[in-house]
Amino acid sequence: MFALLDCNNFFASCERVFRPELAKTPIVVLSNNDGCVIARSQEAKALGIAMGAAVHLVRPLIQRYQVRVFSANFELYGDLSNRVFSLLQESLSPKAVEIYSIDEAFLDLSMLEPRLLVDFCQELRRQTHQWTGIPVSIGIGQTKTLAKVAAGLAKKNAYKPNPSTHSGVFSLATLPCHNDSQDSILAQVPVQDIWGIGFRLTPALQGRGIQTAYDLKYADDAVLLKRYGSTLLRTVWELRGTICYPLKTTCSVRKSIVCSRSFGQMVESFTDLMQAVATYTARASEKLREDGLQAGCITVSIRTNRFRPDEKQYRASHSIRLPVPSDDTPTLIQAARQCLEHIYQHGFLYHKAGILLQELTLLSARQQDLFEVPSEHSAVLMKTLDKLNRHHGHGSIRFASEGLTRPWWMKQSHRSPCYSSRWEERPRIQVQAL
């Protein structure tokens, strides 16, 4: 038996955790550089503010209804996400939790008696809210796909004007898979709302008369397999209650690490561009060490603003394979500099840079180089650096090549404090003895 736990309006909910006075206020969160809306609280959704809307287009709504606007604060969201997931891992077991995205996790509930499922999830939901401040919805089903469908229905329930005691948890599992009542629910779920059915597949399926999850469940296997391949067929079988996607409990080693961002203002000089590249490299190296990995290859890419056709356009990328895989920030910054020197062209206004670390291997499986003098010093230095940055917030201690003034830093005029991870931004509490 599976459950999907989904944090409601996650980024907007995170902004509320340390600002309880905003509980009923409509909230929107903006993308990097404050460009468009990437998250909305339930109240903001009700006002008709669309997902992905450019902020200048919804400005009148924001002003009229006094919507609170926040710049994305991924440090805060990542931290609160970790709190939710470690609570789940403690309540169940690390082996029963698959972290699927920053705000979603699949749970293996097969150790519970079926009649206890809903009550257990109600309690988990209550506890998550109480301990982390994040409201969640939970869907239960015989397969991951059914659990996803159920979570979608649970979320809809949670915001009904008079939510019942069971709001926020929805189970498709108490209904046998071939029971009419489960089918009647699936008949109300549009086909595009099913996990794995993308916007490209939707019109094709609709064209064949497949409008709902029910239609898809009873579609012809042979036709689907021939037309759309085995991936869609797996989804169909999962709707019928056959597990095709087991829980991925073993933490699989990641294949690559990306860090790329657009700038708050255009960048022209090599020095400024190199500062950004060095900063992204330092951040990616930190992630590398968090996972006990080392990189064998680094790629740097730069580009001008493709939305400004009036300006000269240029984009390029270059990769370097390191002589020996490394997790050492100075080594990786040095390699990134060589990449940038290779592709940098004077006379363009750059809008975005990114770095990509590949050929990742576990540090514990490190192949020594015959001519390499192993540096104990570097490992100790990196460990200390990471410890300080974890304690005081990312980028508190940084390399000179990352720059001090950083004019290219993204625009975040409405960022909330990193309450949970930076000492100087923690909320102050005044206690007065009576």
Q: Which stretch binds Mg ion (CB under 5 A): 2-10, 196-204, 284-292, 335-343?
A: 2-10
Residues 97-136, one symbol each (x = binds Mg ion by CB under 5 A, - = not), give ------x---------------------------------
The residue number with the shortest CB distance to Mg ion is 103
Q: Which stretch binds Mg ion (CB under 5 A): 7-15, 63-71, 120-128, 257-265?
A: 7-15
Dist CA 40 CA 55 (whole Å): 12
Q: How far is the CB of 114 from Mg ion (least distance, A)?
A: 26
Dist CA 271 CA 299 (whole Å): 18
| Residue 10 or 120 with smaller CB distance to Mg ion | 10
Task: Determine, following the binding rule CB under 5 A, whether residue 402 of this chain makes contact with Mg ion.
Answer: no
Q: How far is the CB of 6 from Mg ion (least distance, A)?
A: 4
**Exposed e or buried b for every residue in 16-30, given b needs 16+ CB within 10 A?**
bbbbeebeebbbbbb
Greatest pairwise CA separation for the chain in angstroms: 76
Residues 14-33, one symbol each (x = binds Mg ion by CB under 5 A, - = not), give --------------------
Task: Determine, following the binding rule CB under 5 A, whether residue 195 of this chain makes contact with Mg ion.
Answer: no
Q: Are strands 104-108 and 97-101 parallel, antiparallel or unpaired?
A: antiparallel
Q: Which stretch binds Mg ion (CB under 5 A): 4-12, 28-36, 276-284, 315-323?
A: 4-12
14, 27 contact by CB (below 8 A)? no
| Residue 147 or 236 with smaller CB distance to Mg ion | 147
| 119: phi then psi, degrees, rounded to nearest 5 | -65, -40
How many residues belong to the site for Mg ion (CB under 5 A)?
A: 4
54, 35 contact by CB (below 8 A)? yes
| Residue 11 or 350 with smaller CB distance to Mg ion | 11
Token digits of residue 138: 């939970």
Token digits of residue 67: 């919507």
44, 62 contact by CB (below 8 A)? no
Q: How far is the CB of 7 from Mg ion (least distance, A)?
A: 5
344, 268 contact by CB (below 8 A)? no
What is the DSSP secondary structure assignment for residue 94, as one 8-state letter? G
Q: Which stretch binds Mg ion (CB under 5 A): 9-17, 85-93, 264-272, 407-415?
A: 9-17
Task: Determine, following the binding rule CB under 5 A, whether residue 6 of this chain makes contact with Mg ion.
Answer: yes
Interface with Mg ion (CB under 5 A): 6-7, 10, 103
